[in-house]
Structure 1
């Protein structure tokens, strides 16, 4: 029996040729400009940091995973970043497998281009990379500059004791921090090139501690990202003109003003001459324990040291919420064993007057009655005036010292 005929029509052959497999075309980039391998450099870490900056400004739906899409080989070159990163940032879903040929949108489906598309994204990436690389180079130069200047200055140059055997020449980081009036950890971070904020006052203090000249000081300003001041900067804690006139009129007798942390805010010329204060002396407590010249001049230094440490602790008790006292004491204890031992006793003493005897190299022994006067207009500040002790020839020797300095001063009153 013959098989029944099928009623379904037979399929007609397709005259079109079977589609061929798409060739492995290279990824095309219509965003990148002609290759310029020297435009960014070969610092891939800096470029990656620039990409992170760009991603923070993209909409949330455009922030793709950059990790896994960056070339692992340094042979890819910087322009390979410029080709691939726009795809990662703008189309994170298609970044790993971009289409071989982008479809040509019709006029009806054409949309406004994304603001990050086009050559502007590549220019922004390259500019961010340049900024990152410039910042890294500046920090590296700052690190090497501070280390070289610190190694050039000996403890004797700034009036500090040697402090035993040293593994490297120059000052220690702790000593520079104490001389500059900043924390040891903070100065260490600065010298390591970390991204921290610095002020002009701090840069000036470091420049004085490292004995930098005008050119080196300006160079330090630029490495820290600051513009060097054209004029002499004002003191960190300004002193009123009335107080300065009072100190000048007190000559030829020593006098100075200190704040609640015992920082000098104003010192007259005779105080510098008699007590040996220099440009690196910024704090009365620190100078007492670290200035070798002052220590040599002070006749009763060992007997006075416990009272000085106890007085600073008493002043600190008035400001329990102020961490600056602990910082000053901690930094000073790190470089002065004498202060560390006295500070550990926790002795407390308050003084409004004292007797100071100084063995000056030129004029001989000078004996003063020192009086601490509080300044109500500046809470925590004190005016310290030194008056020649009666029964001594200190006043005559001070006047003789002034004449030798070729300074003519009219005695007040």
Structure 2
């Protein structure tokens, strides 16, 4: 009964949403003649949406009435195009129609600049941003100095964790954290079992690291959470930080990973010194930028 009530609510929301979006698109915006005062319907008529989307008029009427009919992503995309839906609205349409929403579109310039400001504000502590496949989108200077992030890496955080000898050479906690990293990646993969992107990363990671392949075969699974990292920096010595992975509400495909200094080893002061002009001059490895 509860499921029936939720479905009824979803279909009712679908009806109201489509009607509201159709009413705001003018014939001129849709490439149709302006009917002027003869038009009684605000925005487009149902029949016009159906023709422009390449679907049957009866089918679109049933969709907008909230009937329980079969829909495909291709048809929803056509309707979204005619109704000039934003990416967020298109994803919402999928959810209301009972389908898994598509991945968000690539970040706009404003989104990227905002995210860059976010991780730069986290200085002098390391921070980076990765997509759902663990590809590194951007990182701040401290991530380059402390974690060894740099352009010549693969730019996939999972693969680099296992293959970057600079990072592994610094990490006292690598073996302990490796199991956690693989278990968390499995949890991410399990949420999207049919996503070919995850399968490609998985194949690359197995080919690049026998250690990863062995841990993957253990089938441990773990939700994302805090990870303690102990690193031996060549200039300032031991650093103890705690990484926190957080989703970006406006971009659910992105994860911000912030590293917070722990009380041990005077870590905060060391990170501040590394980010200072004197520390930058004394850094053994170039600052990634």
Do Structure 1 and Structure 2 share a fold, with TM-score over 0.5? yes
Displacement of 1:391: 4.3
The yes-or-no answer on 1:302 pairing with 2:152 is no
Aligned to 2:131: 259
Distance 2:214 2:170 in 1: 22
1:257-406 alignment, distance < 5 Å: 257-281=129-153, 282-403=155-276, 404-405=279-280
Instruction: Flag the structure with larger Rg.
Output: 1
Displacement of 1:390: 2.4
Q: Deviations over 1:319-354 (max 9, x none)?
A: 122111111111221121101111111211112211
1:113-192 alignment, distance < 5 Å: none
Q: Deviations over 1:193-244 (max 9, x none)?
A: xxxxxxxxxxxxxxxxxxxxxxxxxxxxxxxxxxxxxxxxx99999521111
Distance 1:300 1:362 in 2: 19
Q: Deviations over 1:256-301 (max 9, x none)?
A: 1111111111100110110111213311101100101111111111
Aligned residues, how many? 174
Distance 2:166 2:210 in 1: 18
Cα separation, partners in 2 of 1:256 and 1:239, compared to 1, 3 Å: farther
Distance 2:200 2:108 in 1: 18
Cα separation, partners in 2 of 1:238 and 1:333, compared to 1, 3 Å: farther
Compute the TM-score of the two structures, normalised by the length of structure 2.
0.57
Contact 2:226–2:242 (8 Å) recurs in 1: yes
- Kindly report the root-mean-square deviation, in angstroms, between the aligned alpha carbons of the 2 structures: 2.3
Contact 2:238–2:265 (8 Å) recurs in 1: no
Cα separation, partners in 2 of 1:279 and 1:236, compared to 1, 3 Å: farther
Q: Deviations over 1:29-87 (max 9, x none)?
A: xxxxxxxxxxxxxxxxxxxxxxxxxxxxxxxxxxxxxxxxxxxxxxxxxxxxxxxxxxx
Compute the TM-score of the two structures, normalised by the length of structure 1.
0.40
Unpaired segments ≥5 residues, structure 1: 1-233, 408-413
Any idea what SS the aligned residue of 2:252 has? coil
Displacement of 1:374: 0.8
Higher relative contact order structure (alpha carbons within 8 Å, sequence separation ≥ 6): 2
Aligned to 2:88: none
The runs of at least 4 aligned residues of structure 1 exceeding 6 Å deviation read 234-238
Cα separation, partners in 2 of 1:333 and 1:399, compared to 1, 3 Å: same
